[in-house]
Structure 1
Amino acid sequence: MNEHSGSKHTNRLIRETSPYLLQHAHNPVDWYPWGSKAIEKAKREDKLIIVSIGYSACHWCHVMEHESFEDEEVAALMNAHFVNIKVDREERPDVDSVYMDALHLMGQQGGWPLNCIALPDGTPVFGATYLPKDNWISVLKQLRTLYTENKDKLLVYASQLKSGMQQQILVQMSQAGAALSSSQIEEMVENWSRNFDMEWGGSQGAPKFPMPNGIAFLLRFYYFTKNPKVKDYIEITLDNMAAGGIYDHLGGGFARYSVDGYWKVPHFEKMLYDNAQLIGVYAEAFKLFKKPRYREVVYDSIEFLTRELQAESGGYYAALDADSEGVEGKFYIWTYDDLVKLLGNNLEVFSLYYNVSHVGNWEHGINVLHTTKPIEAVAERTGISKEECERILDEARKTLFEARNVRVKPGTDTKILASWNALTLSALAKAYRVFGQEDFLNLANLLNDYIDNNLLENSGVVQRMVTKTNGHVSGFLDDYALLAQAYIDFYQATFNEHYLHKAKRITLTALEQFFDKNHGMFRYTGKASETLFAEKFELSDNVIPASNSVIANVLHTLGVYFSNSEWISLSTQMLRKVSVNLQEYGAFYTNWAILGIKETFQYKEVVFSGKNADQLFKQFDETFHYYLGAVSSANSNLPILKNRYQEDLSQIFVCHKGSCQLPAATVDEALEKMG
């Protein structure tokens, strides 16, 4: 990114608050933000629209900006013949998702920057991701000529594309299958496992993206099945991610993905949504495997979030850029000369452990810190004790962290998004539940206060974000669903019933604003939202689970807590609609599969009641069990707890789909009843 003091150009994006849009405010391109003014201008002047979508931490977005959008020749062409719209995908995921769906229907692979050329009404006729300057100019000239000389051809293509997108929705919604069985979920995992990388973890090949929800599902699946391959795969994936360059060994936190097949060299942007979900996954994995490294990852990643992404208000910013001083990863990488000057006698142990050398382990003599050998191997090689090696590494990391901190830091995307902060609240709640660290609870309480004061109304209405000028962007389904899930997670860590009632209030509003009775699913946009050229129902899980899979899980969980059979039935019907795809494309339906586990395996409700209920829960919860928990240490009107409490008697009720066994008096007895 360039500094813009004394800039020759300033366009209307200067009035926006999105860091990504502001990055383009001094382009010579006459950018509009997404809105009616741009569409009206295109219709009035009968011009094609360029819809260019990206986000502030996107490296290739910066490259295309520098090559094309800062170029006077390109800008002159765009300004003369097109109406140009810039979109921050994180601010307007609804716009991003429909244009991305269109790109996929065109047979293109998705990514960002996403550049679509559309008719004056916004319907796309062309789409691509990053294009070099000459290719971009060629595309613009071809489409300008086609629109001028053969407009009908583009109109027919646009109409066919819209019909195709609508047909896709109808097909997706009409595939309702029979009720799932546990054997079908086992078959799904078997099919999916053919793409497991059993050496490095993740999916086979490159690049490698962390898929935290997939691991979360497999943890639950392993709990019930004890499938040894799944156990090995979980550990291989989590171990290698924490050892690879994708993990920041000095400051904590994960980059968005690695460009190779073994987690070594990252694409250096750090996203809140990745790190929040990975904190939760590593916390749960620690409870199952008791590996100290997983605990370290959780603690260091939470420290990263609070140091680098937490706003003074208690909310969390969206991302850190991949670039600093115009160079990808410059903040994080090291030359060997750097290390020689800084580490002195600690260099030998550090170099062996983190695989750095004078020739570099990446391109241009650069080193990316990553580990491929245990500390014991370094100790044996150097003749230094394991304990002394650990002391040396700790000292070296602190030295390099301090040295790195004086470098020019990557830019921060200062948007505070409801959905991503909901993921963060879930992460903090899970970490507190596993480790009992009061600092994590305090952070969760502070974030809850921010959400209450800025993003959540008493009515259950959720705002996606608050702008610096105190304007609001209305919430989308993921904001509602993930926030409801976050309050369920917070309840399950604290058993403060207030959070369950907040989750219920949000869910009631989501049902009113987003549920489509004709399709039996939730639309991504609410009733009052802007109408785009295509509808959007988010069904397949990605790095962030699909909003429909999240709300379906929420409905099931709240249905159990509040004895609401209609909500449980609705979640089951939603699951059936994706059951065919779940079996065929399991890796992209893992959050649905978590719901499938609740439906088909011996997923229990466990109620702890009596004066000692809290202590019984903590003892029961020390190891990993997948169940729905509730604690009654006083009389409660929560339906699942009603009439459970007896002042002079502490008991544990183990139930399955509302049918309870005789209460247990001890944790050991309750664990036997878990089966």
Structure 2
Amino acid sequence: MAESPKYTNKLIEESSPYLLQHAHNPVNWVAWNDEVLQQAKEEQKLILISIGYAACHWCHVMEHECFEDEEVAKVMNSNFINIKIDREERPDIDHIYMDALQMMTGSGGWPLNILALPNGKPFWGATFVKKQEWIQVLNQLQQLYVKDPNKIIDYANNMAQGLTEINSISIGESQNLIQKIEIDKMVADWSNFFDTFLGGYKRAPKFMMPVNLNFLLHYGYVQKDTRINEYVNTTLTRMAWGGIFDHVGGGFSRYSVDTKWHVPHFEKMLYDNGLLISLYANAYAATKNILYKNVAEKCISFLEEELLDKSNGLYSSLDADSLNANNHLEEGAFYVWQKHELIEILKDDYLIFADYFNINSYGFWEENNYVLIRDHEAIEIAKKHSISEAILKQTINNCLIKLKAEREKRNRPRLDDKILTSWNGLALKGLTEAYRYLENETYLDLALKNAHFILNNMMTKDGGLYRNHKNGKSTIEGFLEDYASVINAFLELYEVSFDEKWLNQSLQLTEYVIKNFSDTDTGLFFFTPNHNDHLIRKTLEVADNVIPSSNSIMAHNLHKLSKYFPENHFEIRLHQMMKTMNSSILENPQNHANWLHLSLLMSQEYYEVVSIGDNFKLICQTLQKNYLPNVIFAASNSEISELPLLMNRYVKNKTLIYVCKHGTCQMPVEDPNTALKLINSEF
């Protein structure tokens, strides 16, 4: 019979896997809520806020070092209200205190540990801290709060003011949208940072930046810029070849700790893989490089096998750590291989496999472990072993199947099985684009099931969205990123299904955002709804990182919706947002790549393609497998539609294709290839 835990705190009542990991710490953890904040004010106790997430390696290390320790717990419980936060559930809180940490220390990361006044204003912060240092700093700051509280209060007040100021967006004097010549200059300057040999930037660690690469893919394609195209291809290839990609089971880890994409931080996140499915599907459409298709397919297989709930929602992540052969948690234990294992499993195929995946000094990590990484084209390996490329690929595929079967016997990484609306939106968009460009019907089926999950489980009674779903229950009021990514995905889903339900849902959710999240001064949207004033700052999220910012996604949404619903004045709001962001984009394009991508779309010809008639599906599929980032589609087999692009265009017994700009259309044609020529020409 299992031994009962010695300690249980209030986190046992939560659903977040991360919070539940801490439910049996001796620390009296509580979750963030109004009652706890009120208690802190009444008792005039300092708040200790510790933020992390379930797949975070260093969060686990600090838990073991500090939060499971009774001596540490005694100090924390005596003097502080101790609040644990899952950053994935509450990005609104994480945004604020991460900004505070970066202001205080110049860097950030998780675990994110903050000391704050009873009103939530922060005055001290750090990431991972060892036990004795942690005890020392907590005692010193508590003593200072008792002896000289004004010193801490003044610092915290200044910090709170600074947090508001660094997040303020000043409206620039320029009333112009960014022009093509300015985009060319930004790309030229930006390219000085490119690692043209290994891809990414010239530094380590290396993060995959799908937003940046998606923009550069589009820019290089339309500009026919050989250098940019080569850089994008190098980066996509090296990422796909690297250890950051799970060659055995599919899916990408978060980032690599080195310059060659070799040894990853092994956690696998839904958001990364959703965005990368989109990126590789688009890159396949633009280049027809079969590697990109294979990567997208393996990522989708990973989602289906590892993260898909029976309700068709998608879970959040897999942990970096798993139990090793000695039953100790170890980062990467599930994914790495030792040479003797590979020889034993692969037998006669080992030598070919070892050359292909560098079971040598290039692929060596540490402690006799290898992380699979490619460094040469398949044809080179095939020639070395005097076999055809087809036989090589079949051999490697057979080896990977054997390794996957062997890996299934290992202890699996822990699963974070909460379902987040925004991350499901990112993955849903990836699935729709994979269907569009890879032409696999099962991807559309999976996308529709996931979209219906969102409609059936994540919608509130007043037409809004929930943030989180776990154990059959949806909780937490949705944030701007939840709305932005779902609207974006539903727009994509309309363009491949042509079911107007998804377009109308996008419209309704956008109207909800405009009503409840608007910042009238800038035209941007707050991260939290306007009625939510429980935090020390209302955040405007505008910088694009690994995930594009919620405001930049909303700007893309308004751009598309303005084409579908020109009477709704979305273009006016869009132009206000773009003018507000003008100087930020020009000053730092790397951190505003999704805004820059929209600037590119708005500076070039943009087309609305309408197909109407019985044969519309085949026509649209023929057109849509081409890389057409500057085109939206509308289609139907009926004359009954209230969509402006479709009205009065139906002709009985014909399927017509209209190529339009700003609602002005060329004479309709019936051949997709003729339509494609019109798209690729000026009129």
Matches of 2:206 and 2:393 in 1, distance apart? 29
Partner residue in 1 for 2:278: 280
**Contact 1:176–1:578, Cα closer than 8 Å, also in 2:** no
Distance in 1 between residues matched to 2:623 and 2:473, nearest whole Å: 45
Once residues 4 and 162 of structure 1 are traced to their aligned partners in structure 2, the CA distance between those partners, rounded to angstroms, is: 47
**Alpha carbons 1:460, 1:502 under 8 Å: kept:** no
Mapped to 2, the partners of 1:369 and 1:50 lie a distance apart of 41
What are the equivalent positions in structure 2 for 1:500-539 lying under 5 Å apart?
500-539=503-542
Shift in Å, 1:39: 1.8
Measure, in 1, the Cα distance between the counterparts of 2:93 and 2:168: 20
Equivalent in 130, 139, 142 of residue 141 of structure 1: 139
Map 1:85-104; keep pairs closer than 5 Å: 85-104=83-102
Q: Is the 8 A contact 1:333 1:368 kept in 2?
A: yes
Look up the match of 2:562.
Answer: 559
Q: Which residues in structure 2 correspond to 1:332-343 (within 5 Å)?
A: 332-343=335-346
Correspondence for 2:347: 344
Alignment of 1:4-19 (within 5 A): 5-19=3-17
* Matches for 1:224-243 after TM superposition, within 5 Å: 224-243=222-241
Contact 2:426–2:485 (8 Å) recurs in 1: yes
* Cross-structure match for 1:383: 386
1:633 is aligned with what amino acid?
Answer: N
Of 315, 338, 353, the residue aligned with 2:313 is 315
SS of corresponding position for 1:602: coil
Alignment-derived partner of residue 480 in structure 2? 477
Distance in 2 of aligned mates of 1:360 and 1:244: 10
Deviation at 1:436, TM superposition (A): 2.1
- Looking at structure 2, the residues matched to 170 and 42 of structure 1 have their Cα atoms a distance apart, in angstroms, of 29
Output the amino acid matched with 1:658.
G
CA separation in 1, counterparts of 2:14 and 2:591?
A: 35
Amino acid of the residue matched to residue 579 of structure 2?
R
1:583 partnered with 2:581: no
Q: Does 1:650 align with 2:655?
A: yes
Secondary structure of the corresponding residue to residue 167 of structure 2: helix
Of 561-570 and 398-407, more deviation after overlay is shown by 561-570
Per the alignment, in what secondary structure is the counterpart of residue 648 of structure 2?
A: coil
What residue is the counterpart of 2:646 in the other structure? Answer: 641
Once residues 555 and 40 of structure 1 are traced to their aligned partners in structure 2, the CA distance between those partners, rounded to angstroms, is: 39
Which residue is 2:636 aligned to? 632
**Is the CA contact 2:168–2:540 (under 8 Å) kept in the aligned structure 1?**
no
Q: 1:187 to 1:633 in 2, by over 3 A?
A: farther
Deviations 1:602-635 (A, max 9, x none): 1222222333333322222232122112223321
Match in the other structure for 1:430? 433
Distance 1:623 1:560 in 2: 21
The aligned residue for residue 247 of structure 1 is 245
Q: Do the aligned partners of 1:359 and 1:365 also contact (CA within 8 Å) in 2?
A: no
Separation of aligned partners in 2, 1:564 and 1:107: 49
Which letter maps to 1:659?
T
Change (3 A) 1:11 1:373: same
Change (3 A) 1:450 1:519: same
CA distance in 2, matches of 1:500, 1:299: 27
**AA in 1 matched with 2:96:** V
> In structure 2, which of residues 77, 80, 83 is the aligned counterpart of residue 79 of structure 1?
77
The alignment yields a C-alpha RMSD, in angstroms, of: 1.9
In structure 2, what is the Cα distance between the partners aligned to 1:200 and 1:59?
26
Task: From 481, 496, 499, give the equivalent of 1:496.
Answer: 499
Q: Flag structure 1 segments of 5+ consecutive residues without an equivalent.
A: none
Question: What's the secondary structure of 1:522's corresponding residue?
Answer: coil
Q: Partner of 1:516: helix, strand, or coil?
A: coil
Counterpart contact for 2:171–2:579, Cα < 8 Å: no
Alpha-carbon distance change, 223 to 603 in structure 1, aligned in 2, over 3 angstroms? farther
Q: Compared with structure 1, are the counterparts of its residues 235 and 360 closer, same or farther at alpha carbon in structure 2 (3 Å cutoff)?
A: closer
- 1:358 is displaced (CA, Å) by 8.9
Deviations 1:620-660 (A, max 9, x none): 22321221122233212201221122124433322222333
**Kept after mapping to 2: 8 A contact 1:288/1:623:** yes
Q: For 2:671, give the aligned amino acid.
A: T
Q: Is the 8 A contact 2:466 2:474 kept in 1?
A: no
One-letter amino acid of the counterpart of residue 300, structure 2: I
Contact 1:337-1:358 at 8 Å conserved across structures: no
Q: Distance in 1 between matches of 2:500 and 2:161?
A: 47
Residue in 2 that maps onto 1:196: 194
- Partner residue, 1:115: 113
User: Quick check: 1:399 aligned with 2:399?
Assistant: no
Q: Shift of residue 129 of structure 1? A: 1.3
Match of 2:37 among 32, 36, 39: 39
Specify the alignment match of 1:596 in structure 2.
599
Deviations along 1:352-406, one digit per CA (max 9) or x if unpaired, are: 1111149970111110011111222222222333333222211111111000001
Q: Which is worse superposed, 413-422 or 354-363?
A: 354-363
Select between 646-655 and 365-374 the one with higher mean Cα deviation. Answer: 646-655
Q: Which amino acid aligns with 2:543?
A: S
Cα distance in 1, alignment partners of residues 473 and 85 from structure 2: 20
Q: Are 2:544 and 1:541 equivalent residues in the alignment?
A: yes
Q: Give, in whole Å, the separation in 1 of the partners of 2:368 and 2:426.
A: 38
Structure 2 length as normaliser, TM-score? 0.95
Separation of aligned partners in 1, 2:515 and 2:362: 61
In the TM superposition, residue 45 of structure 1 has moved relative to its aligned partner by: 2.5
CA distance in 1, matches of 2:461, 2:633: 26
- Given the superposition, is the C-alpha separation of residues 204 and 79 from structure 1 closer, same or farther in structure 2, using an over 3 Å criterion? same
CA distance in 1, matches of 2:633, 2:361: 54
Match of 2:326 in 1: none
Aligned-pair identity in percent equals 41
Deviation at 1:471? 5.0
- Cα offsets for 1:261-312 (capped at 9, x unmatched): 1100100000000001101111111011111111111111111101000011
Assess if the C-alpha contact under 8 Å between 1:218 and 1:230 holds in 2: yes
CA distance in 2, matches of 1:38, 1:5: 31
**Distance in 1 between residues matched to 2:226 and 2:81, nearest whole Å:** 57
Tell me the distance in 2 between the aligned counterparts of 1:421 and 1:296. Answer: 22
- Cα separation, 2, equivalents of 1:133 and 1:217: 45
Aligned residues: 673
Q: State the distance in 2 between where 1:378 and 1:327 align.
A: 33
CA contact 2:53–2:87 (8 Å) conserved in 1 = yes
Deviation string, structure 1 residues 488-515 (Cα, Å, up to 9, x no partner):
0101111111110011111111111111
Q: Is the 8 A contact 1:61 1:113 kept in 2?
A: yes
1:632–1:644 Cα contact (<8 Å) kept: no
Structure 2: distance between partners of 1:387 and 1:471: 49
Q: 1:29 aligns with which of 19, 27, 30?
A: 27
Quote the offset at 1:461 in angstroms: 1.1
**Structure 1: how far apart are the matches of 2:536 and 2:366?**
44
Distance in structure 1 (CA, Å) of the matches to 2:369 and 2:635: 53
Alignment of 1:347-366 (within 5 A): 347-357=350-360, 361-366=364-369
Instruction: Say which is worse superposed, 46-55 or 382-391, in terms of deviation.
Output: 382-391
Q: TM-score scaled by structure 1?
A: 0.96
Cα distance in 2 for residues equivalent to 1:96 and 1:209: 20
Residue 190 of structure 1 and its aligned partner are, at CA, apart by: 1.8
Cα separation, partners in 2 of 1:495 and 1:380, compared to 1, 3 Å: same
What is the DSSP-based 3-state SS (H/G/I as helix, E as strand, rest coil) of the residue aligned with 1:410?
A: coil
Q: How much has 1:48 moved relative to structure 2?
A: 1.3
Unaligned runs of 5+ in 2: 324-328
Give runs of aligned pairs for residues 454-469 of structure 1, distance below 5 A.
454-457=457-460, 459-468=462-471
Residue type of the partner of 1:166? T
Greater alpha carbon shift after TM alignment, 141-150 vs 24-33: 141-150
Offset of residue 175 of structure 1? 6.7
Instruction: Tell me the CA shift for residue 192 of structure 1.
Output: 1.7
Partner of 2:666: 661
Deviation for aligned residue 1:432: 0.9
String of CA shifts for 1:125-175, please: whole Å, max 9, x gaps: 011111222332232122112212221111111111111122223344557
